[in-house]
Amino acid sequence: MHPDLLALLDAHLAEMTALRHVLCAPRPVQPGERWAAAAETVRSAERYRLAVEAMLSPTP
């Protein structure tokens, strides 16, 4: 399970890093683009939480 958990964390961190680049891009952005990226970080965190919870939950 440990390697699976680390792989899940690595994937989540990569996704968050990509979203961070969108948020701090030194370029003109479309209206709402940064808001959408910020909202996606919340959705990403929720997906990660659910995946970790499923991985760590005891199976009946």
Q: What is the pLDDT of residues 43-55, one digit of tens each?
A: 999 999 999 999 9
CB neighbour list of residue 40: distance below 8 Å, 6 or more residues apart: 19
- Kindly report the pTM of this predicted structure: 0.83
Q: Could you give the CA distance from residue 1 to residue 42 in angstroms, rounded to a whole number?
A: 25
CB neighbour list of residue 12: distance below 8 Å, 6 or more residues apart: 44, 45, 47, 48
pLDDT of the residue at 15: 97
List the structure tokens of 35.
């808001």
In the three-class reduction of DSSP (H, G, I as helix; E, B as strand; rest coil), residue 30 is classed as coil
